[in-house]
Every structure is written in C-alpha cells, then in structure tokens.
Amino acid sequence: MPFMLAVEQAAVQNGMKRIWLLTTNDNLNARRFCQKRGYELVRLPRTRSSHGGKGAS
C-alpha cells in the first residue's frame, strides 16, 4: 500500500479531519505530488532571501 494512502486511512480511522503536509517553497515536485492527490495549498510563508533581496539579514 502506498505510504500516503496508509497515512490517510490511519487518519480517518482515528477520527482526524485534517492532514498537514509541509515542504519547502522551492520543492515543486513535492507540491505537485500533493496537489495531484487533492491536497490544497493553504499558506505559502515568506522566506528569507540569502541573495540580498527583501527579508535578507
């Protein structure tokens, strides 16, 4: 059984209504993987830029 399917089934069996998946903003493959499975993007946090852009330290 694929891992995500097992996680989803365990969540349902334990009465959970929400699954949170976290990845880095630049991991487009992971984001596509989740979206293909019906997960929606809820929040895209701002990140610090190490290249001198906004938010650089």
* Structural contact between residues 30 and 37, judged by C-beta atoms closer than 8 angstroms: no
CB under 8 Å to 44, separation ≥6 — which residues? 25
Q: Two tokens at 3?
A: 């891992």
The CA-based angle 5-8-47, given to 5 degrees, is 100
Residue 54 has a pLDDT of: 56
% pLDDT > 90, the chain: 32
- Asked whether residue 27 carries a pLDDT value surpassing 60, the answer given is yes
Q: Please tell me the pTM assigned to this model.
A: 0.58
